[in-house]
Amino acid sequence: MGHRVGVDIGGTFIDFCLWDETTEVLHSLKVLTTPDTPGAELLRGLDLLEERHGVRPQDITGFVHGTTVGINTVIQRKGARLALITTERFEDVIELARLRMPEAYSLFSRRGAPLVPRDRIFGIRERILADGSVEAPLDVASLEAAVAKARAKGVEGIIVSLLNAYRNPAHEEQAVALVRELAPELFVFRSSEVWPVIREYERTTTALINGYVHPRIRDYLDRLIEGLRGRGVTAQPLVTKSNGGIMAAELGKTACVGMVLSGTASGVMGAAWVAREAGEPNVITLDIGGTSADVALIIEGQPQFGLGEKIGDLPLYIPSVAVSSIGDGGGSIAWVDGFGVLKVGPESAGSTPGPACYGRGGTRPTITDAFAACGFLGQHDLAYGAFRPDVTLARQAIATLAEPMGLGVEQTAEAIIRIALSGMFAEVNKMVARYGIDPRDFALLTFGGAGPMMGCFLARELGMARVLIPARPGVVSALGGLVAERMAAAVENALADPAIAARFVEMGTPGMPGWTPERFARYVAEEVVTWAPLVRASGASVE
């Protein structure tokens, strides 16, 4: 018997949940993050656990960590500078995507910019066919030229994603070995190792996200492991995954894409546990931290899983807890664009300097400042007594926008709240439309430091009659790590096997007029393989 600790780090706070296995009592605390000295907040939290609850580092028998470092990196576009090496004449795959626009009926709809611009995408001569056979060997000279161009662009890492590599990774393996020889200072990932799925866009995008967040996740986990070891924690540190499970922190340093939604998935798992305890089987969750707002759906007590979940304007093609994220966190900064239109986010004030009302040197207005200026905050301490918001500083920050627009401070503050609310409303509407549900039949479960602050407003707009606020809403994501289980996600491309295709021919296609067995087999090979990882992750069978 000992003490299990769940930790979740966001853009502003790091949250701790301590479960005493002897007394079965849950304790919690929050500590401001320290971007200038990463890892210091974790050690400060361990000190507070010992100071307040008498738990020494050596008494900790389990340590599970969820982090929003990955998702915040993507949303804020602050990841690694990458180059992409692909098959010659396939350099435009990530730009073309699936030729689908985010809003099919809008003349002004635009896809988000890819993580790697066209001038850092290099094609090399090689060709592997769909059956895995080699039509043209890898041309070493073209690869050497691509690496030289990438280094000249000042990249930090290289992603190798070649045509049909999911079927035969030989050329990718050869390319990665040569890249490491030519440019040992760069990190390199191959798509067939990160996520070996059919379809070039999905596989390439997933590999790019893995590389984009790799340096920040790697550095953070290095500091986490070293900090715990140096403080005397002997328990193996675990991290939460995008699919709601947990894995060793050491593995997370390279399997980065698997933990991009670490903190958000952990929050949904914690929220599902809270909902079950409250007797509410069907809930929509609203998790608002310092940087992002995340919404998810829990049906019959179980989180929903999906492929192609959105991170900002990018799809994530791995089995994951179905979470939609937008850049409207409590620390999201309000600003006026060149046309005089008020905007909110995605840039966040973080914890340094943080919202102006924190009194830590911030001067730019945030959503939290808007709530303080409207009188919702400032009467009591926040974050378990960490500080009390300064309303005067919040009003001063809001005034920098109010004066140029010719509005009062309260009017501007309310406008900021309404703009943030509209983004959340739109995201929830997309989600409920996708699942074909009526939000009025669900309860809204709000958590995160800013979730309850916005929850009632959103529920009113959605026509929802019930809002659930956990007793400790700010640490639900940390709690999620304590209730999570080890979970693996695997993908196989077995449906491309000729023997399986032949079996579909034998089975025939009853009830599908006009479909030949061959056409049906081809459809399955192209479509069902996309769903197989999701089905397995949910615990069901492919059938």
Same domain, 67 and 137: no
Ramachandran area for residue 539 (φ above 0: left; ψ -120 to 50: alpha; else beta): left
- Residues 175 and 308 placed together within one structural domain of the fold: yes
Token look-up 């990774």 returns 169
How confident is the model over 343-354, as pLDDT tens digits?
Answer: 988 888 876 788
46 & 143 share domain: no
DSSP E strands: which ranges in 273-376? 283-288, 293-299, 302-303, 305-306, 309-311, 314-316, 320-321, 323-326, 332-336, 342-348
Q: List the single range of 285-289, 302-306, 378-382 with lowest mean pLDDT.
A: 378-382
CATH of the domain at 18: 3.30.420.40
Task: Report helix, strand or coil for 356.
Answer: helix
| In 354-507, beta strands by DSSP E | 443-447, 467-468
Helix (H, G, I), strand (E, B) or coil at 240: strand
Regarding whether 160 and 68 lie in a shared domain, the answer is no
pLDDT at 196: 86
Read off the pLDDT of residues 128-181 as tens digits, 9 standing for 90 and up. 998 899 999 999 999 999 999 999 999 999 999 999 999 999 999 999 999 999
Looking at residue 528, the DSSP 8-state letter turns out to be I
How many domains does the chain divide into?
A: 3
In this structure, the answer to whether residues 452 and 392 fall within a common structural domain is yes
168 and 210 co-located in one domain: yes
Q: Is 300 found in the same domain as 186?
A: yes
Helix (H), strand (E) at residue 152: helix 140-152
Residue 275 near residue 300, CB atoms below 8 Å: no
C-alpha closest to that of 451 among 422, 482, 476, 418:
476
> Can you tell me whether residue 324 is helix, strand or coil?
strand
Q: Which helix (H) or strand (E) holds 27?
A: strand 25-32
Q: Is the pLDDT of residue 502 over 70?
A: no
Q: Percentage of the chain with pLDDT > 90?
A: 35
Task: Indicate if 425 and 287 belong to the same structural domain.
Answer: yes
Q: Are residues 507 and 426 in the same domain?
A: no
User: Could you read off the pLDDT of 282-303 as tens digits, one per residue?
Assistant: 999 998 877 778 888 999 888 8
Same domain, 348 and 398: yes
Dihedral sign computed on CA atoms, order 324, 295, 367, 14: negative
**Spatial CA neighbour of 460 closest among 478, 480, 439, 481:** 439
Mean pLDDT, the chain, rounded, equals: 83
Does 517 reside within a domain?
A: yes
Q: Considering only 8-17, 221-230, 283-292, 413-422, which range has the smallest mean pLDDT? A: 8-17
Q: How confident is the model at residue 127 (pLDDT cuts 50, 70, 90)?
A: very high
The tokens for 460 are 């009113």
Show the tokens assigned to 125. Answer: 């001569």
- For residues 102 and 228, state if they share a domain: no
User: Residue 205: which domain range?
Assistant: 79-217+279-488
Residues 136 and 226 in one domain: no
